[in-house]
Amino acid sequence: LLASLLALLIVSRPIFWTAHPPNFDFVNFALGVERFAPADHQPHPPGYPLVILLARLFATAGVSTVTALHLTALAGSAAAVLGAWRLGGPLAAGLLVIEPAFWFSGLTSPTRPFLAAGVCWLLYACRRVSEGRAAWLWITAAMAALFGGFRPELLLLFAAPAAIAARQGGLGWGKITLGAAFCLAAASPWMLWTAASFHSPRE
């Protein structure tokens, strides 16, 4: 069943691919494949280095830049379906394959399918860690999210919801503070690199 869902995704998605960038955001990523320069919006900050690296790997096979980005989005979509299968089973994976927003995002953005994949795999990793197994899954998912294109402002936007959820989940302030410190430490290199690219922390 999982193989059938992945086959449906892989066979049907290219039918609707465009030969040219479908939107302005896609153009920035196409420029980024040619020259990675987030300060010049190629692609726009935070740059999404792993997405660009994957697109460049596809481009080395001789496909166009746009096709390479479509293939990158397809890889992210497949990762999301696999994550949904591990997290919620066949029904969750099947619903994701036919979900309109997921389908549209997979055709118009090389990055958004990876958001779905990141959520599924991170939640799956958290569940496994709560069972006392596979702590490396959580670390891998977190690092992939950071280096895939971490947006520094998310630390501020999600600070309060994260703290409230942690408290309701029974965590003490000591563990919450430790988690916040880890997030800041992990995000600092990316934040400093972005600031240095713009020659100003305010940008």
Position 40 scores a pLDDT of 86
Position 96 scores a pLDDT of 93
pTM: 0.81
CA dihedral 13, 19, 21, 26 (to 10 degrees): 40
Q: pLDDT tens-digit profile of 5-46?
A: 999 999 999 999 999 999 999 999 999 999 988 888 888 877
Position 178 scores a pLDDT of 83
Q: pLDDT tens-digit profile of 101-138?
A: 999 999 999 998 988 888 888 778 777 766 766 666 66
Which whole-number Å values give the CA distances from 164 to 11, 129, 160, 171, in the listed order? 43, 20, 6, 10
Give 141's pLDDT tier (boundaries 50, 70, 90). Answer: low
What tokens does 10 get?
């892989």
Q: pLDDT tens-digit profile of 68-106?
A: 999 999 999 999 999 999 989 999 999 999 999 999 999
Nearest by Cα to 116 from 152, 67, 73: 73
